Structure formats: C-alpha cells, structure tokens
Structure 1
C-alpha cells in the first residue's frame, strides 16, 4: 500500500499550471503609457519647467528695453516716462522697438550685472535644501509654493523696478530662491511615481520643458516688448505661471496611492516596480556642490591677489572642476565595494564640478562684458539641451547593453568633458575681445 498519494500526470500538470499562474501575478505588468497618470505628471512638470525657465530668461531679453542708453548721465535708479531727453533739452530719437509709455532706467553696466546675477545668488542657497525638503513634506507643496512665488514675483518686477533698484534686486534674489526650489525639489516625485525602467523617458518629458521655455521666451519676449512694452513680458509670463500653479495643485499628488484618477492596474504596476530610496542621499550631492562652489570662488580670488594671470586662474578652476569629477564617474563601474563608496564618489564628483563656476562659467564676463547677458542667456539655453539628450542616450545605451550600459554612459560622459576641456585650454582667453570693445565715435 502506498504511504502517500501519488498525483496522476494530469493532476501534476494542473498543479504546475496553477503555480505558474500564481507566480505571474507577482510580476508587475506594464500598463499603457498613453493617457496614464504617470505621464500626465511628467507633462505637468514639463509646463512647470517651461514656466520657470521662461521667467528666468526674460530679464535677458527685456533689459535692452529697460535701460536708457541714450542718457549722458548714469544714475543708480532713475526712470523716465515717455521719450528720453537728449543733452540739449530736446527729445532724442528713441529706438523704434521701445514703446513710448514704457519706463526706462539709467542703470550702469555694473548695476545691470548685479540684477542679472541676483537670481543666481538666491539659487545656490535652496538647490540642496529643496531636494531634502521635498522628500520630507512632498514635492506637491515644495514645488507648488515655489512656482506660485516665482510667478507672483515675476508680476512684481515692473513695479519693483519703478520703486527702486534695491527692491528689484531683492525681488530677483527671492525669485532665484523659488526657481531653484522648483529645479531641485521636483526629482523627489519620481521616487514614488517613476518605475525604474521608465524614469529616463519620464524625466526627459519633464526636463524638456526647460528647453522649450528658453526658446519661447527668446522668440516672443522681444516681440511683446516691442509691441506692448517690456512690462507686459513679465505680466504675461507671470500670469502663465499662476495658471500653471493652479493646474499643479489640482493634478499633482505625491504618490500614486493618493491619486484619485489613477487606474488600479497602473497603481499596482508603479508600486510593485519601485523601491524606497533615501531622500537625504539624493540631496547630499547638492549641499556638497554648494559648499565646494563657494570655496572655489574664494580660492580663485585669492589666486588673483597672488598675481596669477586671469586666464591661468580660469583654466585652473576649469581643470579642477572637469577632470577629477569625470575621472571619478569613470571609476564607478570598476568598484567592487558597496553603495556607500559609490554614493561618496558620486557626491564628490558633483561637488567638484562646481569649481567650473570660477572658471569657464564666468569667462564670458572677461571676454565680452558688454554682451555678457546675451551670451550667458544663449549658453544657458544651449545647455538646457543636455537634460533632454542625456536621459534618452542613457536609456538607449542601457537597453543595448544591460550589463555594461552604465560603463558606456560614464565613458561617453568622460569623453565629452575631456573634449570640452581640451578645447577650452587651447582656445580659452580672458582678454576683452575686439568685437566686444566699445568704440567711441569721433567727430571731424
């Protein structure tokens, strides 16, 4: 007599089929991306980045119309309604692109430089804390409040300029705080919304809004300034930001669990695909970059006091910011240690790269101070292509070679940085170029 029950072949096949069916239910199944909640989140972030960068760039476009370059006297802040007056007391010919009712100001190039840089002064303070704060209290609150703040301050720039240069600079600094909070805090949302196999394309959709915002602001900012007056550039883009802010608070939720319009299948797919990550580790590279960037600025000025040539200081800072950070990235695939070492190297690489702020980043002020605002705006717009291209290229390389994909990504990054560094070391200069010098007209 058999001591245990033997299963017939049919019963065994039936049992194996049930086991396979149970196991398959544990595997997350990809749901369609079209009209999905996660891609809707990426699209809203696209418009958010569009608005943020557009509000950042429009000052570069409107400054030409805001400054009265025909006035013989340069004052700290003095506005004049209507047409400017020449040195003989008569009405001088105003540029055709400047509407008669738009106020103009006698700001020196130094004051203009402070106005342009005020956004950056505020930006370096909130990039790291915003990422950490978004991980603690939620991206919806951090980015939403920051978006409302920068949009409201954009609306306030024309009256602030009329009130005084000090208020305008303070407004720009606070605006920089808000804009950096948007850029630094938005990535925390993909911790709970972005499946690892889709994060590249989701981030590409969101970050591409920066490129479109820069393009749109440059394209229509001048037209608005010419036809309606430069204040309307700030009113229009500030108003668009307020509308986008309302859309943000209605559509955005910090996680798919609390999202009211998500399907059950998509919710299960996202949740089963994710692992919880540490928000502090995500924010750590930004705080290290902030510290090293500040130290690098003081070090560059110290070298200048020791009679180093200006171009030598710029190239030293660029080398220290590009070469070690790229080398650390390349070394990552060859490390057999744990995630702590990898995180430390990534953090150090991110921090060292900010040394370039004292090098190539501000070199435009040395070679063309008259056109520094335009050149900085153009280079910043061109650099916005990187957040769009990098995730796409990385995703392609990873899909082609899952085992060594990241190594190929890191080598490509190293090659691009090395080529850029070599080009700058060969052709970089720190003297004012001939085409950027002021030419005084002489009368015969």
Structure 2
C-alpha cells in the first residue's frame, strides 16, 4: 500500500529538523572537545600527535570566544526568520526550506577546515550558517500548512517539530562517539553530509501543495477536498495582500510571539547552561552530565508527539466542549505551567547528593511536560491564518531573542563564581519568565481564523478591488446570496439568519472556509461571508 504523501512531508520534516537543529549541539560539543586540550576523552585514549584524529586549540581559542561563535549563529538566524517567512509565502515554501538547509549543510562541511585555520573565519561561517538557516522553519511551517487537513494539523506539526527537540540528544551521542572513535571533526562531516542527502530527498519528494503532487491518491484527494487547508503554496497574490498592520496589532499573534520567547529562554538555558549547572553545583563528570541533560529531551519528544495526537482528538470530538481555542490554551498552560513550577522547585535545591537526583527528576517532569506546549503556540499560526502561516511563524521565531537574553543573564549572574546561590537566582528568573508567558497566552490566545485572514478570492480582488472591510463584507454577502440561488434558495431565505447549519451547507462554495475555522466563535457565519 502506497504511503500517503502528507506522511512523507511529516517524515522528512522530522528528519530535516533532527539534522539541522542538531548542527548547534554538534558544533558546541566539538568546540568543547578541541578547547579543553585533554589527551583522553572518557575511556577512549587518543594520541595527541595524531592530528588527523585529535585537535587542540587550548590557548588559541577561549571558552568565551567559542560562546561568541554560537551567539553569531543565533544573531544570523534572528535576522532571517521574518524575511524567510515572507520568501516562503511569496515563492515556493518547499524550495525555500530545502535551499536553506542545503546551504547550511554545505557550510557545515567547511568547518573542519575553518576551525583549525582561523577563529575569525569560523565565527564568520557560523554567522552565515545561521543567516541561511533562519528561513528553514518558517518555510517548513508553510509547507505543512498546505498539506495538513484541519483535523490533523496539530499532530503533523508536533511530529515534525519533535525532530528538533530530539536533536540535542542524538547530536551529543553521535558527536561524543565519533570524536572518540573516529576523529575530532567526524561529526561535522556526518551531519553536513546527512543534511545534503536530506536536501536532495526533499527536492525530489516534496511539493508545495497536494494539487501540485502527481502521486496523490484518490483517497487522500478526497480528504483534502473535505477538510483540506483550502489554499496553495507561495504565490505573488497572497504575498501582495499581507495585512501587516493587523498582524502586528493582533493580540493572539503576540501571544504566539510571547510563547516562542519563553520557549527559547528555557530551551537555551537547558541546552547551554544546565551542563555547567551540574558541573558547578554537583561536580558531576562529563559522562553523567551527558545523560542527565539528554534524558529530559527524550521525555519531551514522546510527550510532544502523543500530546499532538491527543489535542487533535479532543478538538475534533468536542469532548467537554473543548474548542480549538480552549485546546491550544490547555496545551500551552499545562506544558509551560508544569515546567515553570518544576523550575521554581529547582531554584530551592542545594548542592547535596540527593538534591542532584531530585534535580534530574524535576527536569524530566518539567521538560517532558513542556512538550504539550508545542500543540499550543507552535501550531497556532495555522489556526490564525493558514495562508500566512510562514509569515506568522517567521515573526514568532523572532522569539529567539529569548535565547540571547537567557544566555546573557546567566553569564552576568554567574560571573566568575557558579555557586549554588547564583544558580538559584537564574532559575527564579527563568521560572518567572515562563509563568508570565503562561498567563499572557492564557488570556490573549485564540484558535480561530482571524478576521484579517478571512479569504477573499484573489481574482475578484484584482478585477474589482475594494477599499474597506465593509465593502469586502457586502461583496461576499452578495456573492453568497447569488450562489445560494443555484441550490434553489432565494434572498428572502437568508434575510433572517436563524439556522446556521442550513445557511452554511447551502452557501459555502469550494473556495470558502469550513466551519472548523470558526468552531468556537459565536459569529462564525458572519466571518465566512
């Protein structure tokens, strides 16, 4: 039996994020390896004179400079998040995503020569790598928005994004083993090569939308006809009509941005600071630090996937009155709320041996449950405006500023002394930021398509452009009345809107919106005309 094409989109999306997001962890661990200047790596002795396997930059590159290399990557990535979303909307989202990761992969393959050659060249490559890779996630969201049936969009996003959250664990394991048994730069070649191979597979297999794919079977076509996203991939008409002012003044959109900011704050803390926390407070070995920081990410990946399926089922079944808006808020508040509480408790721990065990348990619970939040803010752009999902995702990805601030705050507080009291302060701040994000999202988030994203047929807008929202409303109203006549209905049947189901079934055409877009709004009918 042939695999549905939307499953291939999700599978390649998962692998793409697993590889590309893993670039950060691979580079970070490689730099730790070459800067430390040790002649042994755990139980695997190496010959310092064997320059093909071992590299020492001790005294040539400092730890702080290696952190600047990571910062350069984040700055480059931050610059192209929103522009990348626009490019995905204006042109082909699948091609933008593929090109982005392909270029980043090729740059990854240059690092084994750049790192020993010149540290300034390395930092420049890292900046450019972040710059070209910044468009990949917004573009991927644009592809999934075109391929996700409305009852499956949560699970398609969460399964794809679970690759990003599993990537640190896989990257650390691969890099540690390859550095020990092959060479210091083996993981750079492995990941860069995998990225190039992935890009080729992506270009060959992925199309912008189901209508463009020649291999979509009839059963899948029927699914898209019944509950498909209702829009195509990147095109000039959609890009020319982006309601920028309405987007930037939309509180539901700001709820997504705040959610992304909080996620980046904590994710950066876990990825870059927790290893140092276990070293400073508990004097843990590198081997122990590896599994203590890696296991929580595995729990998060499992919760991310199962949470996406669960939220989709609850919303579809309308269980206990759970609408899309309520489902998104529940996922976000449960995920981030539990994680914030665990971080608060972590801030009360000391440096005893039993405290380390408690800390690991708290991280497994907190980081694990945070996977539910991916079914909240991460999927939300597809709810608010699926045709602009790449734009909204690009804007929300500017929450990467949280990563920069998180690292800066931690570095400032720790200073020269990473004692337990300084780490407690860091955790109190992180927990407060996270809880503030929970409150903001819980108040302002929405799971329905916004009025600024209601679709107007592009051909009508070109032939008879309108100048105000009231004209758009009247134009659509007249169109629906005229379409209803084809079904034997008259204008008088609709002057008194009392039966939403009858109106909806008779009036909507193939290009109109489905009820699911406004499943929890009282004025869903008015928003569709």
TM-score by length of 1: 0.63
Task: Encode CA deviations 1:360-379: one digit per residue, 9 max, x unaligned.
Answer: 66667889489699899859
Residue aligning to 2:231 = 276
Residue aligning to 1:306 = none
CA 1:173–1:134: 2 relative to 1, 3 Å: same
Q: Does 1:163 align with 2:147?
A: no
Q: Does 1:203 align with 2:157?
A: yes
Q: Distance in 1 between matches of 2:219 and 2:82?
A: 35
Residue aligning to 2:127 = 173
Residue segments in structure 2 that go unaligned for 5+ positions in a row: 281-285, 349-412, 423-529
For residue 205 of structure 1, report the CA deviation from its aligned partner.
3.1
Q: Name which of 13, 25, 28 aligns with 1:60.
A: 28
Residue segments in structure 1 that go unaligned for 5+ positions in a row: 1-31, 71-82, 85-93, 289-339, 438-444
For residue 129 of structure 1, report the CA deviation from its aligned partner.
2.0
CA 1:172–1:405: 2 relative to 1, 3 Å: same
CA contact (8 A) 1:54 1:217 kept: yes
Q: Distance in 2 between matches of 1:144 and 1:366?
A: 31
Residue aligning to 1:410 = 329
CA contact (8 A) 1:127 1:184 kept: yes
For residue 226 of structure 1, report the CA deviation from its aligned partner.
0.7
CA contact (8 A) 2:208 2:233 kept: no
Q: Quick check: which has more Rg, 1 or 2? A: 1
CA 1:172–1:389: 2 relative to 1, 3 Å: farther
Q: Distance in 1 between matches of 2:267 and 2:149?
A: 35
CA contact (8 A) 2:100 2:136 kept: yes
Q: Does 1:345 align with 2:251?
A: yes
Residue aligning to 1:441 = none
Q: Distance in 2 between matches of 1:130 and 1:360?
A: 24
For residue 189 of structure 1, report the CA deviation from its aligned partner.
1.0
Residue aligning to 2:45 = 96
SS of residue paired to 2:212: coil
CA 1:360–1:145: 2 relative to 1, 3 Å: closer
Q: Name which of 188, 205, 216 aligns with 1:251.
A: 205
CA contact (8 A) 2:111 2:122 kept: yes
Alignment of 1:314-353 (within 5 A): 344-353=250-259
Q: Name which of 224, 229, 234 aligns with 2:188.
A: 234
Q: Distance in 2 between matches of 1:342 and 1:68?
A: 46
Q: Distance in 2 between matches of 1:358 and 1:51?
A: 19
Alignment of 1:287-302 (within 5 A): none
Task: Encode CA deviations 1:52-86: one digit per residue, 9 max, x unaligned.
Answer: 1222221132223211446xxxxxxxxxxxx79xx
Q: Does 1:51 align with 2:19?
A: yes
Residue aligning to 1:324 = none
Q: Distance in 2 between matches of 1:436 and 1:230?
A: 36
CA 1:68–1:191: 2 relative to 1, 3 Å: closer
CA 1:370–1:162: 2 relative to 1, 3 Å: farther
Q: Distance in 1 between matches of 2:23 and 2:268?
A: 21
Q: Name which of 146, 150, 160 aligns with 1:192.
A: 146
For residue 172 of structure 1, report the CA deviation from its aligned partner.
1.0
Q: Distance in 2 between matches of 1:436 and 1:98?
A: 40
SS of residue paired to 2:80: helix
SS of residue paired to 2:210: coil
For residue 143 of structure 1, report the CA deviation from its aligned partner.
0.7
CA contact (8 A) 1:224 1:230 kept: yes
CA 1:436–1:116: 2 relative to 1, 3 Å: farther
For residue 222 of structure 1, report the CA deviation from its aligned partner.
0.8
Q: Does 1:397 align with 2:314?
A: yes
SS of residue paired to 1:196: coil
TM-score by length of 2: 0.53
For residue 148 of structure 1, report the CA deviation from its aligned partner.
0.8
Q: Distance in 2 between matches of 1:381 and 1:182?
A: 22
Q: Distance in 2 between matches of 1:248 and 1:366?
A: 34
Q: Distance in 2 between matches of 1:98 and 1:434?
A: 35
Q: Distance in 1 between matches of 2:315 and 2:329?
A: 11
CA contact (8 A) 1:50 1:210 kept: yes
Residue aligning to 1:42 = 10
For residue 209 of structure 1, report the CA deviation from its aligned partner.
2.4
Q: Distance in 1 between matches of 2:264 and 2:156?
A: 33
Q: Distance in 2 between matches of 1:140 and 1:97?
A: 43
Q: Distance in 2 between matches of 1:202 and 1:341?
A: 24
For residue 357 of structure 1, report the CA deviation from its aligned partner.
8.3
Residue aligning to 2:84 = 130
Q: Distance in 2 between matches of 1:147 and 1:242?
A: 8
CA contact (8 A) 2:143 2:233 kept: no
Q: Distance in 2 between matches of 1:50 and 1:360?
A: 19
Residue aligning to 2:66 = 112
